[in-house]
Amino acid sequence: MKTALSIADNVRNGSSTAVAELEQTLDTIAARNDELNVFLHVDHDGARVMAEAVDAAIARGESVGPLAGVPIAIKDNLCQRGIPTTCSSKILEGWRPPYNATVIDRLVAAGAVPVGKTNLDEFAMGSSTENSAYGPTRNPLDPSRVPGGSSGGSAAAVAAAMTSISLGSDTGGSIRQPAALCGIVGVKPTYGLVSRYGMIAFSSSLDQIGPFSSTVADSALLLEVIAGHDPLDSTSLPESSPSLLAHVDDGVAGKRIGLVKELYEGSSPAVVAAVMGAAEALREAGATIVELSIPELRLGLSAYYLIAPAEASSNLARYDGVRFGRRVDGEDVTAMMEATRTAGFGAEVKRRIMLGTYALSAGYYDAYYGQALKVRTLTINAFARAYQEVDIILGATTPDVAFAFGEKAADPMAMYLNDVFTIPTNLAGDPALSLPFGRGDHNLPIGVQLLGPGRSEAQLFAAARTLEIADGRA
């Protein structure tokens, strides 16, 4: 599989062109998209214009950026001017944003070529990409199984070698979980490190945009490109993008790495063995492994499924058939709004809106939403105490390998448990990274997770690179 770094190098040195790389990408998409349902929209003409502009700039001797000519897939909850953006929901069918998300502008400025929009669970609510209004995405490693969610399309694009890199969003594990199930690298950055301007909100205090790739170095490069302060996002950290790629080979010598039992207990034996194997690999590379318990993390799932639906209830109130998106006519405004939302939203989105509205309602706010916020504070404080003892935390990304279609769709709680190890990091706002390490049942990849305190991405990439080498993927 080509890496983004190699593509950019080849385009810059003239051994390839942006147009040639794009055409190869479009051919791969055409060959597999009907089978896998990865892309909801492919921007053939617009991507060709951008690729030609990169080649023309190189011909003029101009600098074209670190992602020169690299095709990239974009999750369909990120706005791109004039490109259909649906959040995999019927309620936004046909909507074309009049502006770009900040991350899109930064990609184009770095020479990347966005090729299209990828499938997701509707409004990023799900763990399998089975909740899309446009049909499920299939796992390229085994099309009878899910790719994870909600960023299943973006993960599958990389796993199927359609693109070397892609963008997803992570609210409770929606980058890391599909990365684990598809056998690739996925990163949830520190909250505020990447601008959310132009991202269609699910849960504003949890959402964060991040990279997918087949290698640790590619994710480091992509995160460098999209990170940094943005005045258009009030939650954006007031600092420039960190240096990440330069630290990928720093190693872990002298680092203290916490092996946290709450982040792997209850997993399949193969997943537990992979986590222990990763701990041993880090020890052999010079790290000290410290066994830790953070019991507060067991409360994360319950808190998340009150906080996120509450924020979703508020954020999704704007989809009313009045200003944009789908409209179903009714006898009066109230009937029109009810008919529009009934027809436009899928079952999982309706479930979470109702749960969130209930949690915020008079008489229940303190008992549910207020309590969840207290648990969030407990989680933040527990992580802070742990990071006084260790530099990095190690655990599993998911309790098991990719599961079959329909296996958990009828049981929301069984589906939600897929995110039990990823959610605590979102509650805390800290960074975390998933990468493949070992194999489980059916020879499917297992994802291990590295967590760190805020702004610790550089040391997470260094530790991930160490594991990448140990797993024979260097």
Taking only the tens place, the pLDDT of each residue in 298-355 is 999 999 999 999 999 999 999 999 988 899 999 999 999 999 999 999 999 999 999 9
pLDDT of residue 1 exceeding 90, the answer is no
Catalytic (active site) residue 150: yes
Per-position DSSP letters for 409-425, written without gaps between them: TT-HHHHHGGGTTTHHH
Residue pLDDT, tens place only, 41-97: 999 999 999 999 999 999 999 999 999 999 999 999 999 999 999 999 999 999 999
Catalytic (active site) residue 174: yes
φ and ψ at 388, to 5 degrees?
-80, -20
State residue 325's pLDDT score. 85
Question: What is the rounded distance in angstroms from the CA atom of residue 136 to the CA atom of residue 144?
Answer: 11
Give the other-Cβ count within 10 Å of 301's Cβ: 19
Catalytic (active site) residue 75: yes
Residue pLDDT, tens place only, 242-298: 999 999 999 999 999 999 999 999 999 999 999 999 999 999 999 999 999 999 999
Question: What is the rounded distance in angstroms from the CA atom of residue 396 to the CA atom of residue 435?
Answer: 10
Q: Determine which one of 89, 128, 132, 150 is catalytic.
A: 150
Strand partners, 455: none
Q: Determine which one of 16, 154, 166, 174 is catalytic.
A: 174
Question: What is the rounded distance in angstroms from the CA atom of residue 394 to the CA atom of residue 460?
Answer: 10
Question: What is the rounded distance in angstroms from the CA atom of residue 109 to the CA atom of residue 113?
Answer: 10
pLDDT of residue 368 exceeding 80, the answer is yes
Residues in the chain: 474
- Map out the domains of the chain with their CATH numbers: 4-242 (3.90.1300.10)
Average pLDDT, rounded, for the chain: 97
Distances (CA, A) of 129 to 1, 186, 250: 24, 16, 36
Are the C-beta atoms of residues 40 and 2 closer than 8 Å to each other?
A: no
Distances (CA, A) of 37 to 33, 40, 126, 321, 369: 5, 7, 17, 28, 37
Burial 109-145 (b: 16+ CB within 10 A, else e): ebbbbbbbbbbbbbbbbbbbbbbbbbebbbbbbbeeb
pTM above 0.85, yes or no: yes
Mean pLDDT to the nearest integer, 206-231: 98
As a whole-number percent, the residues of the chain with pLDDT over 70 amount to 100
